[in-house]
Amino acid sequence: MRSAPETDLVTELQPYAAKATAVVNKTIYSLFNDQGTDVLARGGWTDLLICGIAIESCVCKTAVDAFERNLTPWVLVDACASHAGTMTHEAGLVVTSRFIGKRQLISTSDLPLWGLLASA
């Protein structure tokens, strides 16, 4: 598959990717393409920590798709953004919370409580 600067993994994330169980080439708005679905099935994961750019589209779509597959999505609100500005970002958070539940929107500061915060 061809790569483009707009879709390449940024340098700052490469150390994390090197340690990752899997890196999925996301070809649609959601994680749930064939490769993503396969990785999740093999991993047996039921809870997903979701973050990224475009809370109003890609993050929301992945969270809703996870919810509809009886998985538990957790959206890390302070690790999400929007290219379309603050109003769109806030709208994305509202819509996502309406689909998956307000309690599912958490902060990265909640991760140490789960024993999930590790350095690269």
Q: What is the pLDDT of residues 7-39, one digit of tens each?
A: 677 888 888 888 888 889 888 999 999 999 999
- Check residue 8 and give its pLDDT: 76
- Check residue 119 and give its pLDDT: 46
Whether the CB-CB separation of 29 and 53 falls below 8 Å is answered with no
Can you give the pTM of this predicted structure? 0.85
Whether the CB-CB separation of 86 and 80 falls below 8 Å is answered with no
Q: Higher model confidence: residue 53 or residue 60?
A: 60
- Determine the Cα–Cα distance for residues 99 and 68; give it in Å rounded to an integer: 10
Query: Which of 60, 63, 65 lies closest to 74 in space, CA to CA?
Result: 63
The tokens describing 105, both together, are: 């929107």
Query: Which of 74, 16, 78, 76 lies closest to 45 in space, CA to CA?
Result: 74
* Averaged pLDDT, 58-68: 98
